């Protein structure tokens, strides 16, 4: 579903992402792990066609992000690390806006908005302006908007930040459900326990370079993912 081949992105002289290669199959959840400033958000934004990159290739369902960005964007949904949504819109207007852009028909949007917003407990608040929402509510709204059009690829940047334990649990359930429908999920996280339990594959990145990538069981071996990550992070530091 998502193929990242030798992706490189530089900011001036700094290589934010350096020769990154990832292949995410349909129905797969891939966790993207790395320290702050490792290049996770840059790679994610490049995958979503938000950020142009220097070299390499990104393909979504066989389509090139560089050559056919619109077709790729129609297949995916992206939730940024900070839910900076349009604060002047009400929650309902925001969801309708997203549904219009992704051409979700009236019946489907009503069904999905009701289901997801009620599940996250924000349905009653949809009449209020987003500016009045708490961080967690904004995050739930952003997730509702992303899940509403049942994307083939869901890209999430730190999706569990700001969510209460119940909402985190529900999101994990929903992520699994989406994968059962054949979609793929690529998400970055600092919560290694979540990555360990939820992800089929994990990719560990440091200073833009991929350090370890593969099935979760294989990456962690006999250790916990936390131990693997810390060891790799130390080695990464020594390399630098």
Partner 1 sequence: MFRLLLKIRLKGLGSAMISRLGRNKKKTALAGVLMTLLILYALGAVGLSVGMMFHGLAEVAALAQLQWFYFALAGMMMLLLGFVGTVFMTQSQLYEAKDNELLLSMPIKPSAVLACRLAAIGVVELAYTMLIAVPVCVAYCLVMGFQPLTVLFFVLGSLLLTVLALTISCLCGWLVSLLTARIQRKNLLSVLLMLAFFGVYLYAYAQLPTYLEKLMANGTEMALAFKKALPALYYFGVACASGDWLRLLAVAAVCLVPFALLYWLLSRNFVRLATQRRTAPKSRLRGKLFTSSGPFKALVKKEMASVWGMPMYLFNCGLGALLAPVGAVFLAVKGRQLLQLLTLSVQNGEELTLGILCLMPAVCMIMTLFSAPSLSLEGKSFGLLKGLPVKAKTVLNAKITAHLLLGGVPLAVALAVLGVAFELTAGQWALLLALPFSVLAFGAVFGMAANLLLPRFDWVNPTLVVKQSGSVMLAMFGGMFVLALPLMVYFIWLIPVIEITPFLWLCTAFFVVLTLALLRFVHTRGVRMYEKM
**Element containing residue 24 per DSSP (H, E):** strand 14-24
Looking at the chain, how many residues does it have? Answer: 240
Contact between 54 and partner 1 (CB under 8 A)?
Answer: no
Among 104, 194, 198, 202, binds partner 1 (CB under 8 A): 104
Q: What are phi and psi of 187, to 5 degrees?
A: -140, 145
**CB 157 to partner 1: min, Å:** 10
**How near is the Cβ of 193 to partner 1 at its closest, in Å?**
28
**Rg of the Cα atoms in the chain:** 18
What are the phi and psi torsion angles at 37 (to 5°)? 80, 15
Query: Is there a contact between 43 and 6 (Cβ–Cβ < 8 Å)?
Result: no
Size, binding site for partner 1 by CB under 8 A: 44
Residue 101 interacts with partner 1 (CB under 8 A): yes or no? yes
Tracing tokens 């992000």 back to the chain, one arrives at 65
CB atoms within 10 A of CB 195: 27
Q: Which of 93, 115, 150, 212 binds partner 1 (CB under 8 A)?
A: 93
Decide the pairing of beta strands 29-34 and 184-188. Answer: parallel
x/- site string to partner 1, residues 14 to 43, per CB under 8 A?
------------------------------
Scanning 25-33, 82-90, 164-172, 187-195 for contacts with partner 1 by CB under 8 A, the matching segment is 82-90
The SS3 assignment for 36 reads coil
If binding is defined by CB under 8 A, does position 90 make contact with partner 1?
Answer: yes
Q: If binding is defined by CB under 8 A, does position 45 make contact with partner 1? A: yes
Under the binding rule (CB under 8 A), the answer on residue 12 touching partner 1 is yes
| Bridge partner residues of 156 (DSSP) | 79, 187
**Residue of 3, 50, 63, 233 that binds partner 1 (CB under 8 A):** 50
Q: Which of 49, 159, 162, 236 binds partner 1 (CB under 8 A)?
A: 49
Residue 102 token pair: 């992704």
* Minimum gap (Å) between residue 140 Cβ and partner 1: 16
The gap from C-alpha 221 to its chain's centroid, in whole angstroms, comes to 25
The owner of tokens 């066609």 is 49
Token reading at 69: 């960005």
Q: Is 86 in the site for partner 1 (CB under 8 A)?
A: yes
Interface with partner 1 (CB under 8 A): 12, 45, 48-50, 52, 70-71, 73-74, 78, 80, 82, 84-90, 92-93, 96-106, 109-110, 113, 123-129, 132
């Amino acid at each position: 579903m998502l193929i990242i081949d030798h992706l490189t992105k530089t900011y001036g002289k700094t290589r934010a992402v350096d020769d990154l290669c990832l292949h995410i199959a349909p129905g797969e959840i891939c966790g993207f792990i790395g320290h702050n400033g490792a290049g996770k958000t840059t790679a994610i934004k490049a995958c979503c066609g938000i950020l142009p990159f220097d070299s390499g290739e990104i393909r979504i369902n066989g389509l090139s992000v560089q050559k056919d960005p619109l077709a790729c964007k129609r297949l995916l949904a992206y939730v940024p690390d900070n839910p900076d949504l349009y604060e002047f819109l009400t929650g309902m207007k925001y969801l309708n806006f997203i549904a219009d852009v992704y051409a979700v028909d009236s019946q489907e949007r009503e069904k999905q908005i009701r289901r997801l917003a009620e599940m996250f407990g924000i349905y009653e608040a949809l009449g209020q302006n987003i500016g009045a929402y708490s961080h967690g509510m904004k995050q739930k709204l952003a997730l509702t908007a992303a899940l509403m059009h049942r994307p083939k690829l869901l890209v999430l940047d730190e999706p569990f930040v700001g969510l209460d334990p119940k909402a985190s649990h529900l999101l994990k359930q929903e992520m699994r459900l989406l994968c059962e429908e054949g979609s793929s999920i690529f998400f970055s996280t600092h919560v290694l326990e979540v990555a360990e339990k939820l992800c089929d594959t994990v990719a560990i990145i440091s200073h833009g370079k991929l350090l370890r990538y593969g099935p979760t069981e294989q990456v962690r071996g006999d250790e916990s993912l936390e131990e693997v990550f810390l060891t790799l992070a130390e080695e990464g530091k020594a390399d630098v």
